[in-house]
Structure 1
């Protein structure tokens, strides 16, 4: 008997859910996860796929009642089909024959199992749509392994993998399979070759076989979905990218999506190297679609000053909004704003200003600088990942004009550095004249060079915090209007700050370098550096974000 009998579609989803066994967790399919029985999750996903009828094959009265309460139909499973050795084919054949006897004939069937609770609707759709022409059977697959199944994989396209008999390599076939029912029934419950496999995502492959798996699944269900809007170009620099990488490193348990403008993708590979998903958009409607599909709990904006129009539109998605380095009019519509580079006496509610909210990379928190040389021996030069104004070249000219041959200069060339060839040519020429110039190209370990320098000549952006947290005096140069508003160096008296002016730069730079060469000045700046609270900024930011999120939920 079927509870109840009703056929609406030509597609069938069959969920296998027996009472339990000696080789599984007690009451596994009914064990609560986030106050819902495990079977609830695959049931809801299947029922929300409205193009298929959903049946549950079970020997459990409790599973039967719960499934019917959720809106699924039930096929009672006989005891002889509840053994651990019972195959998916046997259960499927039994269910289809019962349905056939009740006048219900389906074209295609997809078998699912509660122990794989994270199957997605788009994957369900693929399992059905791939059953066409000569493709009769599609298994859900995880990876290539050695097993008794004796199937090796041969890729035919991005979605589908052909499975062929082999004695050397084999594919793990999950308890998830779709097939055409006509030939399956004609062959008395045999899957029809050629067999194909549909690779499942890492989340979908999460199966529950132990108590630890249940705990992990609960953590996955409770994790936040965070969408990160970030832009980076040669003009903007890579500071935003490194800032966000540092923050996201403390949110590894959450689901992260990076979203970038197609014309501002410098640094995208940095996110991909860290295994983050990255999507690009070229117009507002594409961005809206990405946000709508992802359904983020939190949206991070690290895109400089936001407009009221942009922020008001984001509010319609009902996500918590967190902005970084934002002095725009749109910031008043954010739930939180972090402006560590700026100082403000009367911030808006939920705005956080000052260096204590700076998020410095881990390497700068591990290493420190203990240099206390009376005479300056080493100076570091770093103007971010791009240096669009080519300040590095102008500094080398100043070094040359002042004949600073006794000092070793370490010049950092960033990943987006535009004037690399010019710098290399100039440094080679200066080296021949007796200057000590060392070029470091695309280093991911900047702290190595900062920890042995007497002071640093750097851009007046987020690099200031990285150098300062290692107790290194700073000579900062503000190049653009944004950097001119960064007052951290002057506020805390940790070095000299100057604004770039092409007419006076060389003269002012020479004067400030001479100031920094004096040991008494550097000692004073080092003393002030030790008073700063920079090392735990990222923890402060994460704590504030989590607290605000918890209040909203």
Structure 2
């Protein structure tokens, strides 16, 4: 019975980049990436390097590869075809009694090809009964070719958008799995061929310094899973926060995982451009994807859940987690709270608020002398129907002020009541779902809202804010005091809260200087840099754990 042998052809006389195969790529010789991938591959029995260079031979030997000979110089120049090098190796094996069933050719200039890629290509070879498996990269582009007279000719029959083009496959040179008997001096490929499709990122072939730069960027990438919950009833704040982080870390292998969802989330997530999973079993997805970093934005976690995550992921970051599982996270960010823990890895307060792009780089807010527009919005579901309570009292008392009610997709009450109210009171406008909250809030003179992330959004805009808490959890949120430029009416208590709202609103309406002070204080709470502080701390933790050097 023969073996599955990986052969790595690596000559020392490269011209474009001298000793290219030994050039450092992220602190490792280029050839080392291919050797280690082959050694780790489960389908490979032996890893051999064919080289004419003593330097390459020494590095390869130290890396774990076999160097049974030094290649003759006559088949080690830039004009020598790959097939001749492989034929030389097979002739040597025949002379020395090595038996080979499957030959796997791995060019050292494909450092991002993984052991998994190798194993998958070999498995295709075994199952498909072909002569050769060739690794390729999918390409849906419009291709042109020059004819014999150097005139450009299209290779496409008609011009179509990319998504409608029939894909072509470019040979990437990373993997050839072949029968030894089909190899000749001129070819390593038999008549019956199967393709193994590799990802674009794994297909980088190093031929220039620019290729080295691309490879370094890819090597700095790491797999990050953002785990969150989002439904019409729960709201989409967690989704928008992880999306803001994902958009900043797009050059990593970003995966979104939603473990509690409904149809309204499915429509949103399908258009974001990242790979995603909708699964009620997050452990199963995480076990399958094997991320380096897990970001949980699911509120409180349990010890049991976090212990399961801890066994699967090296670095875990949680948001807004007051549960007993947060002790198992490497970092916890609770922007809505003061730092409630003595743990040095817990960070609280507005300095760690993650703002959506629309709330960054806003123009300076100017407090108007007279109140012209009031916006009332109470989260995705507004369980206490505070919007209705507010709007049936304030607009009638102040007919010269416009009131805009913004309700979320999970509003739990009869929207018809609000729309009927708007028909009766001509100064009331109802918006079912706002597409750009920054624009709405920036137009307002006063915002009335519950004690969630909208308070940070109002602060980012510099708008004076009156807060009414929906539940006991919101009462713990750190931005409900006057020091932050926010007037808190405490926990909602029906008509009693409405009476307090009327009194507070009357004072604010007639006091532009107080509104100016509130605007200045709230603007200082959120500076828009929270997302960068968070990314910096994640990067620092990853470096300490030796996971990667930099985002």
TM-score (norm 2): 0.81
Do the aligned partners of residues 189 and 254 (structure 1) sit closer, same or farther apart at CA in structure 2, a change above 3 Å counting?
closer
**Is the 8 Å Cα contact of residues 12 and 19 (structure 2) preserved in structure 1?**
yes
Do the aligned partners of residues 346 and 36 (structure 1) sit closer, same or farther apart at CA in structure 2, a change above 3 Å counting?
closer
What is the Cα deviation at residue 471 of structure 1? Answer: 0.7
Structure 1 residue aligned with 2:321: 326
Distance across 1 between alignment mates of 2:39 and 2:65: 7
Structure 2 residue aligned with 1:446: 437
What is the Cα deviation at residue 54 of structure 1? Answer: 2.1
Correspondent of 1:337 among 319, 332, 337: 332
Q: Bigger CA drift: 136-145 or 258-267? A: 258-267
Query: What SS does the corresponding residue of 1:441 show, helix, strand or coil?
Result: coil
What is the Cα deviation at residue 57 of structure 1? Answer: 2.6
Query: What SS does the corresponding residue of 1:25 show, helix, strand or coil?
Result: coil
**Is the 8 Å Cα contact of residues 379 and 450 (structure 2) preserved in structure 1?**
yes
Distance across 2 between alignment mates of 1:552 and 1:21: 37
- List gaps (5 residues or longer) in structure 1: 1-7, 154-162, 164-168
Structure 2 residue aligned with 1:537: 530
Correspondent of 1:42 among 29, 34, 48: 34
Distance across 1 between alignment mates of 2:228 and 2:539: 20
Structure 1 residue aligned with 2:365: 370
Alignment of 1:198-347 (within 5 A): 198-261=196-259, 267=265, 273-283=271-281, 286=284, 289-290=287-288, 294=290, 296=292, 298-316=293-311, 319-343=314-338, 347=342
**Is the 8 Å Cα contact of residues 234 and 410 (structure 2) preserved in structure 1?**
no
Q: Deviations over 1:494-538 (max 9, x none)?
A: 233233335655555545544443344423422433443533223
Correspondent of 1:30 among 22, 26, 45: 22
**Is the 8 Å Cα contact of residues 132 and 179 (structure 2) preserved in structure 1?**
no
Query: What SS does the corresponding residue of 1:370 show, helix, strand or coil?
Result: coil
Query: What SS does the corresponding residue of 1:43 show, helix, strand or coil?
Result: helix
Query: What SS does the corresponding residue of 1:338 show, helix, strand or coil?
Result: strand
Alignment of 1:132-531 (within 5 A): 132-133=127-128, 135-142=130-137, 143-144=139-140, 146=143, 171-181=169-179, 184-185=182-183, 189=187, 191-193=189-191, 195-261=193-259, 267=265, 273-283=271-281, 286=284, 289-290=287-288, 294=290, 296=292, 298-316=293-311, 319-343=314-338, 347-368=342-363, 370-387=365-382, 390-398=385-393, 402=396, 404-414=398-408, 416-418=409-411, 422-423=414-415, 426-427=418-419, 430-431=422-423, 434-437=426-429, 439=431, 441-443=433-435, 445-498=436-489, 499-502=491-494, 504=496, 506-520=498-512, 521-531=514-524
**Is the 8 Å Cα contact of residues 465 and 534 (structure 1) preserved in structure 2?**
no
What is the Cα deviation at residue 395 of structure 1? Answer: 4.2
Distance across 2 between alignment mates of 1:86 and 1:388: 74
Q: Deviations over 1:161-187 (max 9, x none)?
A: xx9xxxxx9642121343441662489
Structure 2 residue aligned with 1:157: none
What is the Cα deviation at residue 388 of structure 1? Answer: 5.3
Give aligned pairs, total: 524
**Is the 8 Å Cα contact of residues 341 and 353 (structure 1) preserved in structure 2?**
yes
Alignment of 1:120-131 (within 5 A): 120-131=114-125
Distance across 2 between alignment mates of 1:9 and 1:272: 48
**Is the 8 Å Cα contact of residues 147 and 172 (structure 1) preserved in structure 2?**
no
What is the Cα deviation at residue 373 of structure 1? Answer: 2.1
Q: Please say if 1:114 is aligned against 2:108.
A: yes
What is the Cα deviation at residue 473 of structure 1? Answer: 0.8
What is the Cα deviation at residue 119 of structure 1? Answer: 0.9
Query: What SS does the corresponding residue of 2:535 show, helix, strand or coil?
Result: helix
Q: Deviations over 1:444-500 (max 9, x none)?
A: x32222222112122311121111121101122322332222241324252332333
Q: Deviations over 1:77-120 (max 9, x none)?
A: 44444344544444334433433444444333332212111112
Structure 2 residue aligned with 1:16: 9
Distance across 1 between alignment mates of 2:120 and 2:231: 38
